[in-house]
């Protein structure tokens, strides 16, 4: 069985067109990462730690960074928090130009935040292979602001904010309506430059300190969203091969690391997503004062994160993950024991062998006809309906786990919470309650804001797996390949 570590799939391709969405996305991430490194030098240090850890990890396997697929080294995610439906609509139009579309709904109300969440990301296998960059995007839910006065203040400030320059809007309009071939390389450059303005940090708040403090008292996220002229990127997250080593290294180099790694415990067969971060910095901000005066203050929002990605799990696999996580959270609260120890104990129940995970239908796999096996399929006396297990056993087909491209709401809440400023990890209650009806209503609300349906991430993985089985079927000339029992 393969490991979750991607194999080198380098493909030679021609010079990309300036308006190719995958190419634009890659240019955008590179520019964003450079900007954020300048704004938050500690993020640059984190990237260096990740490179150092990955190099050592690869050396121990007799490999080097060049052996990783190109997507791995480009790989990042970022996060932004928006204020209004108009902002959400415009960002989804911009991200679409870069080949990123909303996937998955994250009900953050369930974990104590007045926000809807989704991830804008590429959806096709090819786009993901080129560059899987994704943006965890949240939008304020004014209906969840408990004080009517605060709600009024927040919505009125946001109603006049203009995140998108007129040049950017013009370019998005053009990209949507005209043939992309008519857009020049210079237009593409402008799109990147104008986009960066949305995500740039402003150390000058657009409101007086008093307003900031009122909003912050309601919820620190409300202040972060409402009080600034941009939707500053609040973190960027490189992917690593060994998150435990990065966590240890952050601590030994004196970075203000989060107390613990979110997600499943360390396993042989990595699943889903494990994340940690260095905590948000307290930064100097000036607030509007009387007449020409400004007032000094601080704001805590921006941090650096790191992630280790494993395999995408099926619905059954996700249910097991959620159930074990809930059990671990319950037990560590009751027993007041080291929560990582409890997590490890509880997760012993989650199979940790690729073949078992596959046979039990817990993880999604990408199936492929072994390169040298296409012409000899006949020699294997394969016809009609054949079970996948046989094809794998005879080496006619190979498989590898599909990488998880998304996020986890409970982990996200842990990341949010440790970056609110001044609180310990887990300072805000993180409940794992099942309120499916309510979540469904919230999802529909966000779909209304976006003006489109949000596909479930699990359906997309299911489709990728099914398509790969169909591809094998066609190549081998079989009428059916049976998966599962």
Which of 219, 206, 230 is CA-nearest to residue 287? 206
Task: Please choose, out of 176-184, 198-206, 298-306, 326-334, the segment that lies near Ni ion by the rule CB under 5 A.
Answer: 298-306
Question: Nearest distance from residue 419's CB to ligand OOG, in Å?
Answer: 6
**E strand segments, 189-281:** 204-208, 235-238, 273-278
- The one of ligand OOG, Ni ion, none whose footprint includes residue 411, by CB under 5 to 8 A per kind, is ligand OOG
Task: Please choose, out of 225-233, 310-318, 331-339, 407-415, the segment that lies near ligand OOG by the rule CB under 6 A.
Answer: 407-415
DSSP H or E run through 89: helix 85-97
Question: Nearest distance from residue 303's CB to ligand OOG, in Å?
Answer: 8
Angle between helices 243-252 and 41-60 (to 10 degrees): 130
The answer to whether 131 contacts ligand OOG (rule: CB under 6 A) is no
Task: Please choose, out of 247-255, 313-321, 370-378, 410-418, the segment that lies near ligand OOG by the rule CB under 6 A.
Answer: 410-418
Task: Please choose, out of 64-72, 239-247, 406-414, 437-445, the segment that lies near ligand OOG by the rule CB under 6 A.
Answer: 406-414
> What would the x/- binding string for Ni ion be over residues 222 to 261, using CB under 5 A?
---------------x------------------------
The answer to whether 305 contacts Ni ion (rule: CB under 5 A) is yes
The answer to whether 240 contacts ligand OOG (rule: CB under 6 A) is no
The answer to whether 400 contacts Ni ion (rule: CB under 5 A) is no
* Residue with Cβ nearer Ni ion (218 or 305): 305
- Reading the block at residue 140, the tokens are 């304020």
Task: Answer for the pair 447, 454: CB distance below 8 angstroms, yes or no.
Answer: yes
Question: Measured at CB, which residue is nearest to ligand OOG?
Answer: 412
Span 192-221, contacts to Ni ion by CB under 5 A: none
Which of 146, 198, 161, 21 is CA-nearest to residue 85? 161
* Residue with Cβ nearer Ni ion (257 or 391): 257
- Size of the residue set binding ligand OOG (CB under 6 A): 12
Q: Cα separation of 430 and 163, whole Å?
A: 31
The answer to whether 205 contacts ligand OOG (rule: CB under 6 A) is no
Task: Please choose, out of 373-381, 411-419, 427-435, 470-478, the segment that lies near ligand OOG by the rule CB under 6 A.
Answer: 411-419
Q: Cα separation of 11 and 8, whole Å?
A: 9
Span 261-300, contacts to ligand OOG by CB under 6 A: 275
Q: Cα separation of 125 and 315, whole Å?
A: 20
Q: Which residues pair with 136 in a beta bridge?
A: 79, 119
In 175-202, which positions are buried (b, 16+ CB within 10 angstroms) versus exposed (e)?
beeeebeebeeebbebbeebbbebbbbe
Span 61-90, contacts to ligand OOG by CB under 6 A: 79, 81
Out of 415, 449, 454, 481, the residue judged to bind ligand OOG by CB under 6 A? 415
Question: Nearest distance from residue 106's CB to ligand OOG, in Å?
Answer: 8
Residue 393: is it exposed, middle or buried by C-beta count within 10 angstroms (0-12/13-18/19+)?
exposed
Question: Nearest distance from residue 415's CB to Ni ion, in Å?
Answer: 6
Please provide the distance, in angstroms rounded to a whole number, between the alpha carbons at the two ends of the chain: 19
Task: Please choose, out of 258-266, 301-309, 339-347, 381-389, the segment that lies near Ni ion by the rule CB under 5 A.
Answer: 301-309
Pairing of strands 480-482, 134-140: unpaired
The answer to whether 411 contacts ligand OOG (rule: CB under 6 A) is yes
* Residue with Cβ nearer Ni ion (215 or 408): 408
Q: Is 79 helix (H, G, I), strand (E, B) or coil?
A: strand
Q: Is 19 helix (H, G, I), strand (E, B) or coil?
A: coil
Write out the DSSP string of 102-167: EEEEEE-GGGT-SEEEEEEE--SHHHHHH---EEEEEEE-GGG-S-HHHHHHHHHHHHT---S-HH
* Residue with Cβ nearer Ni ion (84 or 237): 237
Footprint of ligand OOG on this chain (CB under 6 A)? 79, 81, 136, 138, 234, 275, 305, 407, 411-412, 415-416
Footprint of Ni ion on this chain (CB under 5 A)? 79, 237, 305
């Amino acid at each position: 069985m393969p490991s979750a570590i991607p194999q080198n799939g380098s493909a030679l391709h021609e010079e990309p067109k300036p308006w190719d969405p995958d190419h634009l996305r890659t240019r955008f991430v590179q520019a964003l990462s450079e900007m954020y490194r300048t704004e938050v030098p500690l993020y640059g240090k984190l990237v260096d730690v990740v490179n150092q850890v990955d190099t050592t990890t690869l050396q121990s396997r007799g490999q080097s960074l060049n052996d990783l697929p190109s997507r791995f080294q480009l790989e990042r995610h970022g996060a932004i928090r928006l204020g209004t439906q108009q902002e959400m609509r415009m960002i989804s139009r911009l991200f679409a130009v870069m080949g990123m579309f909303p996937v998955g709904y994250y009900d953050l109300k369930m974990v104590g935040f007045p926000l809807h969440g989704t991830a804008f990301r590429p959806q096709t296998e090819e786009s993901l292979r080129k560059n899987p960059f994704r943006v965890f995007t949240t939008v304020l839910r004014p209906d969840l602001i408990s004080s009517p006065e605060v709600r009024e203040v927040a919505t009125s400030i946001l109603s006049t904010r203009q995140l998108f320059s007129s040049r950017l809007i013009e370019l998005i309009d053009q990209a949507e309506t005209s043939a992309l071939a008519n857009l020049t390389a210079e237009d593409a450059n402008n799109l990147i430059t104008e986009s960066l303005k949305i995500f740039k940090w402003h150390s000058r708040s657009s409101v007086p300190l008093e307003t900031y403090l009122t909003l912050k008292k309601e919820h620190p996220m409300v202040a972060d969203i409402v009080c600034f002229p941009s939707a500053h990127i609040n973190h960027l997250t490189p992917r690593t091969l060994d998150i435990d080593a990065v966590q240890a290294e952050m601590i030994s180099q004196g970075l203000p690391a989060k107390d613990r790694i979110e997600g499943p415990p360390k396993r042989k067969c990595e699943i889903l997503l494990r994340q940690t971060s260095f905590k948000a910095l307290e930064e100097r901000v000036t607030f509007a004062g009387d007449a020409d005066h400004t007032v000094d203050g601080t704001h805590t929002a921006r941090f650096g994160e790191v992630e280790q990605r494993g395999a995408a799990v099926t619905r059954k696999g996700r249910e097991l993950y959620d159930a074990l996580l809930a059990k671990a959270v319950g037990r560590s609260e009751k027993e007041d024991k080291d929560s990582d120890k409890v997590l490890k104990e509880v997760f012993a129940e989650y199979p940790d062998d690729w073949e078992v995970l596959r046979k039990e239908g817990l993880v999604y796999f990408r199936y492929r006809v072994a390169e040298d096996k296409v012409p000899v399929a006949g020699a294997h006396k394969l016809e009609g309906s054949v079970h996948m297990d046989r094809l794998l056993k005879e080496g006619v087909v190979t498989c590898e786990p599909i990488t998880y491209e998304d996020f986890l709401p409970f982990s996200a809440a842990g990341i949010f919470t440790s970056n609110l400023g001044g609180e310990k990890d887990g300072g805000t209650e993180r409940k794992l309650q099942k309120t499916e009806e309510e979540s469904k209503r919230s999802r529909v609300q966000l779909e209304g804001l976006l003006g489109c349906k949000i596909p479930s991430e699990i359906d997309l993985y299911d489709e990728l797996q099914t398509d790969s089985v169909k591809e094998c079927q066609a190549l081998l000339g079989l009428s059916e390949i049976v998966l599962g029992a």
